A and B are shown apart, each in its own frame.
Chain A
C-alpha cells in the first residue's frame, strides 16, 4: 500500500485554532501542497493578515511576516523587491483585502508585482465576531447589518476578481470554492497555478476562494457549505477571470 494522501510537509505540527468546519484549514493545506509540489519552501516568505488567520505564521514552515490590517500586498512588495528570487505570498480575508486594504490590493495588482495572493472570501468579518464585510450579500444579517445588508445605506457587495480583471497588469485571476470535493480539487489546481506563475515570473496572480464561516453565519459546517453553493456562488461565479498564458 502507498500513501495517496497525507499532510503536506510545509505545514507545521501546530494544531489549528480555527473553528470546527472552517475552510481556512483546507486552503492552508492547498497552499502548502503547492509549495511542496514546486519545491519552493526554502525560498518562500508568507505574509499573514489581520483576521482569523492572523496566526498563519505558526502553521507554515516557511519564513513568515505578520502584516498590519490590509497592508499585506505592500509588505509583500517590500519583500519581493528586496529578494526578487524569493516566492512571496499573502493570505488575506475579505476585510483585509477588500475593505481597509482595497487600495493596496488594486495598486499592487496595477503594478503587476510578481506575487501570489490567496483571498479568502467568506462574506463576513470572522475574528472580530461577525460584522459585515464588503463581500457580505444583500440582506445578509451580520452584527453590523442586523436588519440585513441594505444597499441604500450599506452599499453593494464587491466582486474582486471582476474588479481586478479590468486592469492590464494582472496575469491570473481565478475564483474557486472549497465547499465540496469537486470544488476543492479545482481550487487546488488554481492555487498551484498561482504559485507556478510566480516561479515562472508571469506576474500578479490572485485566487479568490469562496469560503465558509460556520460560526458567524450561524450554520453547521455542512449547512455552511450548502450556503456557499446556493447563495454565494450565484453572486460570486466561479471561474477564471484573467489568464495571460
Chain B
C-alpha cells in the first residue's frame, strides 16, 4: 500500500519520474496544464504503486511525497 502526493504547481513536466518508475504508472498529462503552463505528471494506476520512491528520487523539483 502506497500513497503519492503531487505538488502539481511545482511540476515542470520533465518526465524524469516517468522514466524512473519501475511500474510504468506515471505519465505526463495530455489534458492538464498547471499555472506555469507545464503539463504536470499524473499517476495512472495508483493501486499499483509500491512506494519505491524512485520517482521522488529523480524529481528535481520536490513535487512528490511518498507514503507507505
- Residue ranges of A at the interface with B (Cβ–Cβ < 8 Å): 1-7, 11, 15-16, 18-26, 29, 180-181, 184-185, 214, 220-222, 225
Contact = CB atoms under 8 A, between A and B. Distances in A.
A24 B19 contact: no
B59 to A, nearest CB: 7
A26 B60 contact: yes
A184 B67 contact: no
A221 B14 contact: yes
A16 B60 contact: yes
Q: How many of chain B's residues touch chain A, expressed as a range? A: 20 to 34
Given A181-B54, A181-B57, A29 B62 contact: yes
A240 B1 CA distance: 37
Given A11-B62, A15-B10, A222-B15, A185 B57 contact: yes
Contact of A21 (B1, B15, B53, B62): B15
Given A16-B60, A16-B61, A214-B14, 8 more contacts: A1-B67, A2-B67, A4-B53, A5-B64, A7-B62, A21-B12, A184-B57, A225-B16
29 contacts: A1-B3, A2-B67, A2-B68, A3-B66, A3-B67, A5-B53, A5-B56, A5-B57, A6-B65, A7-B62, A7-B65, A15-B9, A15-B61, A20-B38, A21-B14, A21-B15, A23-B60, A25-B59, A26-B57, A26-B58, A29-B60, A181-B20, A214-B14, A221-B14, A221-B15, A221-B16, A222-B15, A222-B16, A222-B19
B62 A4 contact: no
A26 B2 CA distance: 22
A29 B57 CA distance: 9
A24 B60 contact: yes
Interface string B26-68: 0000000000001000000000000101101111111011111
A21 B9 CA distance: 15
A4 B68 CA distance: 7
Nearest to A23: B60
B35 to A, nearest CB: 11
Contacts of B59: 25-26
A134 B14 CA distance: 27
A188 to B, nearest CB: 8
A214 B60 CA distance: 13
A5 B5 CA distance: 10
Contacts of B56: 5
B5 to A, nearest CB: 9
